[in-house]
Each structure stands twice: as C-alpha cells, then as structure tokens.
Structure 1
Amino acid sequence: MRRRTGVALAAAAALAWGEWLNWRWSRTLVGDSGGAAEAVVVLGYRNPQATANLINRWRVRAGIRSIAADSTQAARVIFSGGATGSGAAEARLMADYARSVLAFDGTVLLEDRSGTTWENITNVIPLLEDIDRIKIASQPAHALKARAYLRRQRPDLAERLVRADDYRPGEWMIVKPLLALYGLWTLRGLRTDERKISL
C-alpha cells in the first residue's frame, strides 16, 4: 500500500512538474505589444507523409485558436516548414489541414523552405516587418526557442512578441513530463536572459 502511494505521489509530482515547466516556457520572452496587425507563426514538425501528422495538426489548432478575437480581420497565419524528403512542404500540409478540416478562411501565408527552427525564423522575418503583434505557436519549449532566435536575429521585432495560445492546463498532460525533459535538452543553449519569464 505504501509503495503504491509512493508511486502515485511520484507520478503526480512528475505531471505537476511537466505542467509547470510548459506553463513557464509559454510565458517567457513575450510582452503585451498592442496594435491591430497580428501574425501567428505556426512552426512545422517532421512530416514525411502526405497529410499533416498528429503534432502538426495540433500546432495548426493552437495557431488558429491564438488569433485574438478582436483582430481576426487584421490577422494572418504563417505556416512555416519545408519538405521532409520528397514529400510536400510542412507549411503546405498544415495550410491544407487548416482549410479543409478546420474550415479556416483567414489570411494564410506559407514559408516552405525551412529545415530548422533557426531557418523558420530567418525566413518568416520578411513576413513580419509590418506586424504589431507576433505570436509563435508550437509546443511551449519549441516556441520559446523560436522566440529566442527572433530576439537574436531581430531584437526590434522580438519586442512585438506576445503569448500564443499553445499552452492550456491539462492539455497533453500525460506526455508533458516527457515534453519537459525534451524541452530542457533542446533549450540548453539558451542564455540566462532568454529564460526570463514575462508575466
């Protein structure tokens, strides 16, 4: 009985830790920039098949729900990601999913040349020059990495970063401890000033 209780407490602690880290990452390197023109950058994930995979489908949903209710007319969604192998670009697959399955009819732009997160940011910068509010949608650790890269490449645009709706309590809860472990590994190159939470 005591062993079962210990296992249950350890599992609960792991879930709480994963939840907390993902919450924290979703609020790091963001501000409260105002303005009407809004862009949501949705980052792609390895997608060798002919349709959007599970992770890309979730990222598309998170990106679309990130559009502020009062800025739908002035908002654009930028899908970013190149082709994996000889298939279609991740950006195209995500846009197709948004249009055909989610019936999204807003403004969509494609950036279909990137193979890394650094390239995602480099290649979307020209699409963000006239934007007041920039949101980056992905899993929280990946989105934070992309925000840090924007800060390194274009600090002036990074001042326009605001929080995307890519963290929700309880969503992906069972795998959040694994996402947190993977996130710690992928974020190991971030500087201390790039880890500062913005509330």
Structure 2
Amino acid sequence: MRRRAALAVTGAVVLAWGEWLNWRWSRSLVTGHGGTSEAVVVLGYRNPQATANFVNRWRVRAGLRSVAAGGAQDTRVIFSGGAVGSHAAEAQLMADYARSVLGFCGTLLLEDKSRTTWENVTNVIPLLEDADRIKIVSQPAHALKARAYVRRQRPDLAERLVRADDYRPVEWVIGKPLLALYGLWTLRGLKPEERMASSCSRQLV
C-alpha cells in the first residue's frame, strides 16, 4: 500500500513538473502588445507521410485557435516548414489540413523552404514584419526557441511577440514530462535571460 501511494505521489509530481515547465515556457519572451493586425506562425514538424501527421495536425489546430483568441481585425496564418521528412513541404501539408479538413477560410501564407528553426524564423520575417502582433505556435519549448531567434535576428520585432494558444492545462498531460525533458535539451543553447517569463506577462491576452 505504501509503495503504491509513493508511486502515485511520484507520478503526480512528475506530471505537475511537466505541466509547470510547459506553462512557464509558453509565457516566456512575450508581451502584451496591442494592435489591429497579427501574424500567427505555425512551425512544422518532420512529416514523412503524404498527409499531415499527428503533431502537425495538433499544431494547425493550435494555430487556428490562436487566431480566434486574438480578436485582431487583420490576421494572417503562416505555415512554415520545408520538405524535411518527405517530398512534400511541411507547410503545404499543414495548409492542406487547415483548408480541407478544418475549413479555414482566412488569409494563409506558406514558407516552404526552411529545414531548421533558425531558418523558419529567417524566412518568415519578410511575411510578418509589418504585423502589430506576432504569435509563434508549436510545442511550448520549440515556440520559445523560435521567439528567442526572433529576438536575435530582429530585436525590433521582440516587443510584438505575444502568447499563442499553444498551451492549455492538462492538454498532452501524460506527454508533458517527456516534452519538458526534450525541451530542456533543445533549449540548452539559450541564454538564461531568454528562458525567463516576460515582465509584461500580466498584460497577456
């Protein structure tokens, strides 16, 4: 009985740790910047099959709900990702899913050359630099990494980075500890100040 209780407590602690870390990452390097136009950038994931895989389908849904959460009058959705896992670009597969399955009818742009997160950021900047608000959608650690790259490449755009709706409590709850571990590894190259929550987080929409 004691062993079972200890395992249950340990499991709860691990789940809470994964939840907290993903929550924290989702609120790092963002502000409460306003405006009437926004760009929602959905980052692709390696996709060896002919249609969007599970991860990319989730990212598309998170991207589209980020549009609904913003309330901006002028919103463009940018799918970013080249042909890394197959002959089809991740951006195109995500766009097809958004249009044909989810029925998205808004403004949609494709960036289909990138093969790394750094390239994602480099290649989408010309498509979003006139937007008042910029949302980057992915798993929280990956999105944070991309926001850090925006700050490095174009510091003038940093104040336009706002939180996307890519974190929700208990969503992916079982997988969040693994995402947290992977996130710690993939974020190891960021500076400590790039991992900290924004001082403007209280203003987030």
Range of TM-score over shorter length: over 0.9
* Counterparts in 2 of 1:186 and 1:49: CA distance versus 1, 3 Å: same
1:164 aligns with 2:164: yes
What's the counterpart of residue 71 of structure 2?
70
Distance in 2 of aligned mates of 1:128 and 1:53 = 26
- Tell me the percent identity: 78
Give matches, 1:16-27, under 5 Å: 16-27=16-27
Off by >2 Å, runs of 4+ in structure 1: none
1:145 aligns with 2:145: yes
What's the counterpart of residue 28 of structure 2?
28
What's the counterpart of residue 114 of structure 1?
114
In the superposition, the TM-score normalised over structure 1's length comes to: 0.97
> How many residue pairs end up in the alignment?
198
Tell me how large the CA RMSD over aligned residues is. Answer: 0.9
2:175 aligns to what SS in structure 1? helix
Distance in 1 of aligned mates of 2:159 and 2:117 = 19
Structure 1 unaligned residues grouped into runs of 5+: none
Distance in 1 of aligned mates of 2:167 and 2:36 = 23
* Counterparts in 2 of 1:69 and 1:26: CA distance versus 1, 3 Å: closer
Structure 2 unaligned residues grouped into runs of 5+: none
1:91 aligns with 2:60: no
In the TM superposition, what is the alpha-carbon distance from 1:86 to its structure 2 partner? 4.5
1:173 aligns to what SS in structure 2? coil
What's the counterpart of residue 41 of structure 2?
41
Cα deviation 1:63-93 (Å, max 9, x = unaligned)? 000013522x400000000002542100000
1:4 aligns to what SS in structure 2? helix
Return the letter of the residue paired with 1:88: A
In the superposition, the TM-score normalised over structure 2's length comes to: 0.95
